[in-house]
Amino acid sequence: MDTKTIWSEFLSIVKEEVGSRVVETWFKSILFHGWDYQAKIVYLKAPNTFVRDWVLSNYLSLLLTHLGRLLNEHGIQIQFVDQEIPPAVVNVVEKQVKSADHEDIAVIPAVRSLEKVHVKRNRNIMNSQYMFNTFIVGPHNSLAYAAAHAITEKPGILYNPFFIYGGSGLGKTHLLHAIGNEIKERYKNCHVLYQGADRFVHEFINAIRFDKMYQFEARYRGVDVLLIDDIQFISHKEQTQEAFFHIFNMLYQAKKQIVFTSDTLPGDIAGLADRMRSRLESGLVTDISTPTLETKIAIIKKKSELYNEQLDDDISHFIASVVTSNVRDLEGALIRIFAVASLTKQNITLDLAQKVLAKNKDPKQILVDLQTIAFKVAKHFDYSLQEMRLPKRNKDLTFARHVAVYLMKKLTKNSLREIGNFLKRKDHSTVIHALDKVEILKKKDAQFVQLLERLENEIMQ
């Protein structure tokens, strides 16, 4: 398999996983420059240092995971180059799949050098950019912010456990990291562990497979503050919930602080044992909703400062007015503008911002969130959101779910994986199946097409 084929397949995978916008903005301008199969180094070329640094900071795990799979290698390294490398290391050589399970090693390049600096990637490390002083507070998140800040003053005493829920990209993970960073700053010897729920599941399965349950439990026994992101991912996993239930009780009884985030209320997480749901609801439960226009403008101003940019008020107001979904999309729009300005060597003006975000102004591209679509469709078919997310496969419920998937794909910019995760589907193949079913039915049934149009109009009102 040559480098062009590998990179093309990688782009297809990333497009399905995180969306076409990420691919178009960041990865399309990068070249797969070579592969040293002996040293296990992937050489990439970026158009400038801005793109290189952004990709390394935000998408390194995607590169390591998917290029490793395509190359049939574990523990690959990524290195960006600014010059030609010897032909001996740019050939892709076919080889057998190796089964070793190594830690990911990242290679962070010097600006004008091929010097390699090996950094062991710790998936549980706190993000130093997510601090309380970089979190913009507004009416949509003030309670969550106040409670999160209060926790850092008396960990394990106030609001324990603490549960934050809300849609994707609204700042839940930012607050989670801010809590961890602040506690580590206040209490130098405090052991803070940040863990994604999907990672917890992965570690638990490996502990069972390799007979390492003692080490698994010991790791959590020594934690002072446990931060669990996207706790909904343990739904429908009975053994994992059992293990987590005992870890929760052990930490809670020892007055250790526990914080969760989720995309929905504990009561709306399908496939969760009653006693587990009871534990999640036993402390303070608060939400983060979509920010107001004024808050979005403040966020844009703050984010711009972090990138050493100053935006005029009219540009900030325009971006905030056009991007109506969440903070992550807001930052994505901002970065697209910065990227285009950098690549084309233009000043950031209102005209440039309007051109970059032109698609957002198209009425057909008006952004709505997944939850709004799910509620509208569920109400039409006389189901609840919780029922829409259940694994049940009766004919009527499946039909309603297929309609919701179709409208989510059409009316939002969410990736297939994000849609699947929202509806509690295990992978995006179920989403593709639903889309195929709807397209087939549209060709056969004119009344069904009218139903889709009616629902779309209701959602967009």
User: What does the DSSP assignment read for 24-38?
Assistant: IIIITT-EEEEEETT
| pLDDT per position as a tens digit, 345-404 | 888 888 888 888 875 554 444 457 788 898 889 888 888 888 888 877 788 888 999 999
Q: Are 376 and 357 found together in one domain?
A: no
| pLDDT per position as a tens digit, 25-65 | 788 889 888 888 778 889 898 888 878 888 888 888 889 88
Helices 293-306 and 327-344: crossing angle, nearest 10°? 40
Q: Are 432 and 349 found together in one domain?
A: no
Residue 122 banded pLDDT, cuts 50, 70, 90: very low
pTM comes to 0.54
Backbone angles phi, psi at 77, to 5 degrees: -120, 150
Say whether pLDDT at 110 is over 60: no
Number of domain units in the chain = 4
Q: What is the spatial distance between Cα 342 and Cα 317, in angstroms, rounded to a whole number? A: 21
In a domain, 253, yes or no: yes
Q: What is the spatial distance between Cα 125 and Cα 195, in angstroms, rounded to a whole number? A: 9
Residue 85 banded pLDDT, cuts 50, 70, 90: very low
Q: What is the spatial distance between Cα 451 and Cα 185, in angstroms, rounded to a whole number? A: 56
In a domain, 127, yes or no: no
In a domain, 345, yes or no: yes
Closest CA to 114 of 158, 80, 64, 72: 80
* Strand bridging mode 225-229 / 257-262: parallel
* pLDDT, greater one: 152 or 37: 152
In a domain, 126, yes or no: no
Say whether pLDDT at 117 is over 50: no
Say whether pLDDT at 227 is over 90: yes
Q: What is the spatial distance between Cα 240 and Cα 200, in angstroms, rounded to a whole number? A: 8
Residue 183 banded pLDDT, cuts 50, 70, 90: very high
Say whether pLDDT at 147 is over 90: yes
Q: Are 273 and 347 found together in one domain?
A: no
Instruction: Note the pLDDT of residue 356.
Output: 85
Say whether pLDDT at 86 is over 60: no
Q: Are 354 and 384 found together in one domain?
A: no
Question: First vs last Cα of the chain: how many Å apart?
Answer: 49
| pLDDT per position as a tens digit, 246-290 | 899 999 999 999 999 998 888 888 888 889 999 999 999 998 888
Domain that holds residue 49: 3-120
Say whether pLDDT at 296 is over 90: no
In a domain, 375, yes or no: yes
The H-assigned helical ranges of 67-158 are 68-70, 142-153
* Strand bridging mode 31-36 / 41-45: antiparallel
Q: Which of 120, 140, 168 is the last residue of a domain?
A: 120
The domain that holds 145 is classified in CATH as 3.40.50.300
Q: Are 92 and 45 found together in one domain?
A: yes
Residue 446 banded pLDDT, cuts 50, 70, 90: confident
Of these ranges, 95-99, 148-152, 268-272, the one predicted with the greatest mean pLDDT is 148-152
The domain that holds 19 is classified in CATH as 3.30.300.180
Q: What is the spatial distance between Cα 398 and Cα 406, in angstroms, rounded to a whole number? A: 12
- The per-residue pLDDT of the chain, averaged, comes to 80
Per the CB < 8 A criterion, the answer to whether 408 and 370 are in contact is yes
Instruction: Note the pLDDT of residue 91.
Output: 39
What tokens does 277 get? 């749901």
Three-state secondary-structure class, residue 47: coil
Instruction: Note the pLDDT of residue 111.
Output: 31
| pLDDT per position as a tens digit, 193-208 | 998 888 888 888 888 8
Q: Which residues, including other chains, have CB under 8 Å from residue 358's CB and lie 6 or more apart?
A: none
Other beta carbons within 10 Å of 55 = 21
Helices 197-209 and 213-221: crossing angle, nearest 10°? 140
